[in-house]
């Protein structure tokens, strides 16, 4: 619940375009956008440094494709380092000279620093509640310890990375307390790399008690840990060592068991051999310490297999990828609760009796409904929470969420109380028979409410965040745009109350549309308050490819159907233009990662629609993405060039391959981090070089490269505020906006 997150960017008309691209593929001729290069070329963007072209031609299924900037992929060369330095120097020269940049930075820093502390990622052990603890203006979140009273005044800090590293570049990836609450296992990484080592701390003293265990976490497959019930050891994920080839070191994740006090060299292999190279293993035994659920994702496409590990270390498989089980939780009595999407794309709840691992014997507890049961691979806490009295199931309803309550026979017992347009990331049962659950809305800082099962009532707790930013003058309007194929696409419009639509207000449109990730309500914070005060309107589109309406919604925007995502985004833009929210000269778009791919596809397919684009840590070369260090993880979502049909779809929208010389592109600002293990920074380097050589609009194309940042996860407060100041200074300058005094 970090209220000042950079947009969920580490969280979109194309008949004419698609016809041309498909024709090029079918005739075996590369698109004209990447033909006829000289050895060197001056940048069409007069303010950009010239970039040498060294064309390389690849052939895919009989189609020749030219790549003029392949050399920019190798960050180890001096040529690339020099190029990157020149790009960043030019970007900083532009941004730092903007008269509004300094006051924007000062305002954001002041408001974010004045935001109160916040807690999230709760993990209960007995009467103790461990949590991430964020306290601006400190650079990094810490680990705090609370009681069932959930009173921040009684909290104490267990692990503080700001003390471990005063530079603020050490981040906590994740933590797991032991069953007795006396020890805590913590993954720590540097410079936003998410390349974590495991550290063990004594909770009472805060002292580290053992040497770190390396290679337990990486952004490709993540990392996790589950303690044995007696607290004398734990199962944990680990990646191959430096003795393996470089292209294997961040794949082939496996599970080992470590006995406290033993040398790591003695750790026992448990699970992982024979699994896909892109397996992502998550370990969990929160509601039954004697049964560890190992959830194995087949890359990032939404397929899962599940295994049980008992206290002796014996392993039994419960589900396979083809079973379409997307979450499993073990109850205190050994029963297994499973969310299935087989013949139920929005999910249904099944149950296996204690000791039974034959999925064919599962009984139906809760049938599919209008809401979407979350999967284990989606953001937030567990999809299912269990108590002695009830089952709590987190669900999505098109973006906003709810928590449905059932008894252990699947009979409905209502829902947890929530305001309108809210989301719940966490439902945490406490030892006193109550639950804490998080509540996030667009206009109020996040907070926790307590639900008392005995009286079925909810009350707010002291576990809340306050902010100097107020949205009392703001409203959120949820409307529907119609995509090219007739699909209704929700858009959430954030505007000041009584807004008179001039037809030329600055609008910032955000979207993602991939990996079944849903854009749910979260506090908009200082960034969007700044945008509104500058006269802007902010819009979030819930696009296909996300999980807002279930697996069918996701699949309609995945693999060979990815163009639907972009068409949905164009529909949102067209809606805002047709309803006189804005015009082409004041419409800006913003996204990152998969949302960066969305940005690239949007402005290459329809450059005339947008005035300015912000794209962070984006994916742009869809023909090379699977060759990236973690690229194989993406093939289950995007597809592979090895498959002729998937290549055809990838090539039809790949942003890098559809930049066309002499085109009036919008102003573009891209940002990347050198330690990004999720999206190769080479995508941003190549895309910027190509755009700078092609555009004739006279509008600038800039790239910011941060050596102390990765995908955005784990970045220090100062890095995050500086990135926000860069983004909004650029947008204010390009759209002619002014920040009120």
3-state SS record for 593-613: CHHHHHHHHHHHHCHHHCCEE
Backbone angles phi, psi at 359, to 5 degrees: -60, -25
**Are the beta carbons of 617 and 673 closer than 8 angstroms?**
yes
pLDDT the model gives residue 678: 67
Please state, as a whole number, how many other Cβ atoms lie within 10 Å of the Cβ of residue 320. Answer: 14
Flag whether 710 is in a domain: yes
Flag whether 235 is in a domain: no
Structural domains in the chain (count): 1
Strands 701-706 and 412-415: unpaired
Q: Which residues of 260-282 are buried (b: 16+ CB within 10 A; e: fewer)?
A: eeeeeeebeebbbeebbebbbbb
The phi-psi region of residue 250 (left if phi > 0; otherwise alpha if psi is between -120 and 50; otherwise beta) is alpha
Distance from the Cα of residue 320 to its chain's centroid: 25
Active site members = 593, 711
pLDDT the model gives residue 225: 96
CA distance 263 to 261: 7
**Are the beta carbons of 657 and 60 closer than 8 angstroms?**
no
**Are the beta carbons of 698 and 668 closer than 8 angstroms?**
no
CA distance 531 to 411: 46
What angle in degrees, to the nearest 10, is found between the helix axes of 78-97 and 717-735?
A: 60
Classified as helix, coil or strand, 239 is coil
Flag whether 430 is in a domain: no
Residues, the chain? 741
CA dihedral 542, 437, 142, 192 (to 10 degrees): -20
User: Which distant-in-sequence residues (6+ apart) come within 8 Å of 206 by Cβ?
Assistant: 157, 158, 159
User: Which distant-in-sequence residues (6+ apart) come within 8 Å of 455 by Cβ?
Assistant: none
Tokens found for residue 36: 């006829």
Flag whether 676 is in a domain: yes
CA angle 500, 503, 508 (to 5 degrees): 95
Strand partners, 613: 589, 668
Flag whether 616 is in a domain: yes
Strands 587-592 and 612-616: parallel
Nearest to 403 by CA among 454, 439, 368: 439
**Are the beta carbons of 177 and 184 closer than 8 angstroms?**
yes
CATH of the domain at 530: 3.40.50.1820
Sign of CA dihedral 343, 344, 345, 350: negative
**Are the beta carbons of 607 and 663 closer than 8 angstroms?**
yes
Strand partners, 404: 393, 415
Flag whether 236 is in a domain: no
Flag whether 728 is in a domain: yes
Distance from the Cα of residue 110 to its chain's centroid: 26
The phi-psi region of residue 206 (left if phi > 0; otherwise alpha if psi is between -120 and 50; otherwise beta) is left
Classified as helix, coil or strand, 164 is helix
Flag whether 164 is in a domain: no
CA distance 82 to 74: 12
**Are the beta carbons of 175 and 153 closer than 8 angstroms?**
no
Locate tokens 């955000």: which residue?
Answer: 510
Confidence (pTM): 0.87
Backbone angles phi, psi at 732, to 5 degrees: -60, -40
CA distance 497 to 494: 9
**Are the beta carbons of 323 and 572 closer than 8 angstroms?**
no
Tokens found for residue 643: 């498959």
pLDDT the model gives residue 220: 75
Instruction: Give me the domain span that covers residue 658.
Output: 15-109+470-735
Residue 110 DSSP symbol: H
Give the chain's residues under pLDDT 70. Answer: 1-44, 46, 377-380, 674-678, 707-716
**Are the beta carbons of 582 and 503 closer than 8 angstroms?**
yes
Nearest to 103 by CA among 732, 587, 735: 732
CA distance 196 to 69: 32
**What does the DSSP assignment read for 563-592?**
HHHHHHHHHHHHHHHHTTS--GGGEEEEEE
Backbone angles phi, psi at 524, to 5 degrees: -75, -30
């Amino acid at each position: 619940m970090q209220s000042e997150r950079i947009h969920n960017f580490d969280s979109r008309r194309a008949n004419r375009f698609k016809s041309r691209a498909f024709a090029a593929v079918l005739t075996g001729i590369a698109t004209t956008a990447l033909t006829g290069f000289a050895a060197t070329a001056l940048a069409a963007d007069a303010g950009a440094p010239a970039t040498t072209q060294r064309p390389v031609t690849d052939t895919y299924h009989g189609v020749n494709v030219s790549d003029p900037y392949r050399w920019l992929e190798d960050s180890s060369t001096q040529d690339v380092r020099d190029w990157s330095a020149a790009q960043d120097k030019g970007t900083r020269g532009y941004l730092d000279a903007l008269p509004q940049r300094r006051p924007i930075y000062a305002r954001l820093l002041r408001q974010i620093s004045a935001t109160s502390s916040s807690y999230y990622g709760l993990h209960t052990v007995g009467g103790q509640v461990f949590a991430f603890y964020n306290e601006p203006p400190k650079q990094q979140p810490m680990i705090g310890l609370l009681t069932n009273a959930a009173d921040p005044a009684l909290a104490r800090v267990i692990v503080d990375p700001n003390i471990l590293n005063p530079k603020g570049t050490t981040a906590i990836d994740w933590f797991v307390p032991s069953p007795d609450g006396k020890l805590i296992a913590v993954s720590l990484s540097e410079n936003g790399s998410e390349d974590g080592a495991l550290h063990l701390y004594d909770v009472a003293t805060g002292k580290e008690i053992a040497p770190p265990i390396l290679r337990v976490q990486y952004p490709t497959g993540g990392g996790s840990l589950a303690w044995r019930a007696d607290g004398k050891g734990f199962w944990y994920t680990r990646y191959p060592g430096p003795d393996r080839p470089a292209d294997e070191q961040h794949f082939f994740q496996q599970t080992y068991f470590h006995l406290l006090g033993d040398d790591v060299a003695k750790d026992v292999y448990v699970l992982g051999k024979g699994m896909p190279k892109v397996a992502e293993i998550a370990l969990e035994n929160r509601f039954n310490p004697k049964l560890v659920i190992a959830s194995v994702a087949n890359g990032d496409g939404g397929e899962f297999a599940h295994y049980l590990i008992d206290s002796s270390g014996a392993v039994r498989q419960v589900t396979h990828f083809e079973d379409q089980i997307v979450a499993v939780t073990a109850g205190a009595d050994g029963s297994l609760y499973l969310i299935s999407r087989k013949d139920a794309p929005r999910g249904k709840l099944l149950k296996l009796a204690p000791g039974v691992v034959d999925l064919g014997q599962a009984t139906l507890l809760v049938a599919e409904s209008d809401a979407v049961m979350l999967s284990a691979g989606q953001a937030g806490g567990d999809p299912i929470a269990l108590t002695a009295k009830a089952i709590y199931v987190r669900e999505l309803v098109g973006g906003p969420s709810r928590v449905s309550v059932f008894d252990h026979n699947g009979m409905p017992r209502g829902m947890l109380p929530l305001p309108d347009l809210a989301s719940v990331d966490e439902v945490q049962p406490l030892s006193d028979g109550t639950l804490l659950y998080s509540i996030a809305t667009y206009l109020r800082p996040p907070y926790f409410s307590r639900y008392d099962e005995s009286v079925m009532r909810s009350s707010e707790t002291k576990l809340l965040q306050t902010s100097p930013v107020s949205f009392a003058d703001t409203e959120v309007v949820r409307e529907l745009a119609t995509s090219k194929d007739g699909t209704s696409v929700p858009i959430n419009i954030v505007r000041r109350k009584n807004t008179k639509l001039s037809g030329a207000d600055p609008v910032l449109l955000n979207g993602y549309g991939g990996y079944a990730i849903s854009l749910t309500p979260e506090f908009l914070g200082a960034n969007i308050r700044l945008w509104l005060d500058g006269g802007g309107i902010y819009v979030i589109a819930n696009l296909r490819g996300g999980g807002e309406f279930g697996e069918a919604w996701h699949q309609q925007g995945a693999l060979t159907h990815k163009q639907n995502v972009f068409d949905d985004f164009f529909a949102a833009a067209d809606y805002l233009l047709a309803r006189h929210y804005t015009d082409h000269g004041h419409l800006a778009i913003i996204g990152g990662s998969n949302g960066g791919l969305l940005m690239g596809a949007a402005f290459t397919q329809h450059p005339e629609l947008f005035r300015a684009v912000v794209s962070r840590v984006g994916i742009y070369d869809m023909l090379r993405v699977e060759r990236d260090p973690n690229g194989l993880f993406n093939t289950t979502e995007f597809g592979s060039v090895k498959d002729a049909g998937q290549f055809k779809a990838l090539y039809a929208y790949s942003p890098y391959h559809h930049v066309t010389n002499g085109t009036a592109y919008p102003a573009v600002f891209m940002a990347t981090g050198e330690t990004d293990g999720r999206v190769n920074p080479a995508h941003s380097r190549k895309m910027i070089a190509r755009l700078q050589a092609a555009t004739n609009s006279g509008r600038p194309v800039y790239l910011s490269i941060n050596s102390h940042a990765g995908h955005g996860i784990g970045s220090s407060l100062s890095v995050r505020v500086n990135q926000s100041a860069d983004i909004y200074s650029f947008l204010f300058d390009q759209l002619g906006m002014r920040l009120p005094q």
